[in-house]
Amino acid sequence: MAEGRFITFEGGEGAGKSTQLQRLGDSLSRTGVDVVRSREPGGSPAAEEIRKMLVSGEIQRWIPETELLLHTAARVEHVASVVKPALVRGSWVVCDRFHDSTLAYQGYGQGLGTDMVDHLHRLLFGAFQPDLTLIFDLPVDMGLGRTQRRGGDEDRYERMELEFHERLRNGFLEIAKRYPDRCAVVDAAKDENDVYDDVIACVNARFSLDLD
């Protein structure tokens, strides 16, 4: 792969990832880098179609294995048509969620375990992983409180039980411990500007940059 870089934003509900992702994208663009902002599930027309089946409707509409396959199908589309071409062009891709969300939500939260999720990833994507993953961590009640104020109908996961959200929060922290070279945990309970300072510090350290 060429010089592009792949940065993913991860975390539970209401962690403020999207705002931080936009700000980082703006900051990188100011340095002359071509930035592609994307998200999962979704990020390409076909993957957005699959997204609709996952983020709304009845909580029990899928069994966890189906859910894993649907998220993975969306990822196959997104990586092939958006992420890899952008990286080959030398663009920086900043993406709201990726494989670690599948590990946390389906692996830890929905109880499939990490082996099955990792196995499927390796089968389809080999060793392909982000260059940097920022894990936005905050107490579950605080995150869910923020999403309630936001509203909207893409709330299928938000409506899942509190214990599910606790499991996936702990799952993300486990992932950060497992992959310390790739992952950095950001305290998302702080206010927006302080979180952003931490995001910039992580990106500068990882890529030897001087963003502000």
Interface residue list for ligand TMP (CB under 6 A): 13, 39-41, 54-55, 71, 96-97, 101-102, 105-106, 154, 157
Q: Which residues contact 50 (CB under 8 A, 6 or more apart)?
A: 41, 42, 70, 73, 74, 77
Check if the beta carbon of residue 56 is closer than 8 Å to that of residue 152. Answer: no
Start-end of H helices in 56-189: 64-78, 84-89, 99-101, 114-125, 140-150, 162-178
Quick one: which of 17, 64, 15 has its CA closest to 169?
15
Shortest CB 205 distance to ligand TMP, Å: 25
Shortest CB 89 distance to ligand TMP, Å: 23
Shortest CB 30 distance to ligand TMP, Å: 26
- Nearest to ligand TMP of 132, 168 (CB atom): 168
- Nearest to ligand TMP of 40, 77 (CB atom): 40
- Nearest to ligand TMP of 35, 79 (CB atom): 79
- Residue 82, token pair as written in the block: 């958006």
- Nearest to ligand TMP of 39, 167 (CB atom): 39
